[in-house]
Homo-oligomer: A and B are copies of this chain.
């Protein structure tokens, strides 16, 4: 065993996982790496292959970049450098999400006696040109979480499928206390029985489904092949959990910080802005109130130019007033 390539016992290797988000045609997209065969290109780092590829070698994964202690001054600069290098996109906004150090996250690393610690990042980009990342494509994020999109009313999969399965899971609890606990958590996360739906609980919902063995990532989930796409497309390792963290965080953040603008082109109409917010939050907004809110916050100013391709009356084009960025502005929705 060579110490410089193969980690010694009890050591740690750091990887950077990026949830790279963009809006394409008013849909929320996330950059995912797809692997359709065992064939691996040799260009990637050993680490990249190890993490991006799940055991069964079939799932989509979040793009992954290694952290080189000797090359990168900080973790964030490491992330920025490899993302910008590989995607040619300028990153408007980067936020550290969470650092996962879970045992068993990557069995191959474990076997070598090392632990893979992955730092998850959320990156927002405006430009969506094709990337240089191997096999990377933009995917609608609701493909992985179909129950999170309420823009066309309550998702059918909820009533027809998930809620019944969860009720069954509640019934199957070992004892009364456990049953009550399951019921209450389901109420809160999935808005059962009059409890209102909370768009920020993306991670909590995913984890409840995981606990109830209703997602394919769970090893003991029933009829795996079937469930894999039924309850959203599965991802490699715990990448769907990281994505859920990102979506929940972003949904929370747009309510009190002006991060939406990082996803917008330089100028935009108020309806375009609204559609983006709706795409992220997965719900519809009242148009007149939305524009009143936006205008009151003073985050935006008219450019004087007019957008005529609206399909109706032409709209004013606005620009984000980047000057006020630092202030803890509320963009409540």
Contact = CB atoms under 8 A, between A and B. Distances in A.
Contacts of A114: 69
How many chain A residues sit at the interface, stated as a range, is 35 or more
A274 B305 CA distance: 51
A13 B10 contact: no
Given A4-B9, A70-B10, A75 B103 contact: no
A29 interface: no
A67 B99 contact: no
A328 B13 contact: no
A188 interface: yes
Interface stretch (A140-148, A166-174, A196-204): A196-204
Contacts of A70: 9-10, 113, 115
Identical chains bound together, number: 2
A326 interface: yes
A99 B102 contact: no
A114 B67 CA distance: 12
Contacts of A103: 72-74
Contacts of A67: 12, 101
Nearest to A4: B8
A69 B10 contact: yes
Interface in A1-35: 3-4, 7-14
A281 interface: no
Contact of A11 (B69, B198, B323): B69
B69 A115 contact: yes
A162 B207 CA distance: 47
A327 B198 CA distance: 9
A234 interface: no
B74 A99 contact: no
Nearest to A68: B10
A15 to B, nearest CB: 11
Given A99-B96, A328-B201, A184 B117 contact: no
A206 B302 CA distance: 35
Nearest to A6: B3
Nearest to A109: B69
Contact of A185 (B9, B11, B68, B326): B326
A233 interface: no
A119 interface: yes
A4 B3 CA distance: 8
A208 to B, nearest CB: 10
A189 interface: yes
A211 to B, nearest CB: 13
Contacts of A9: 4, 70
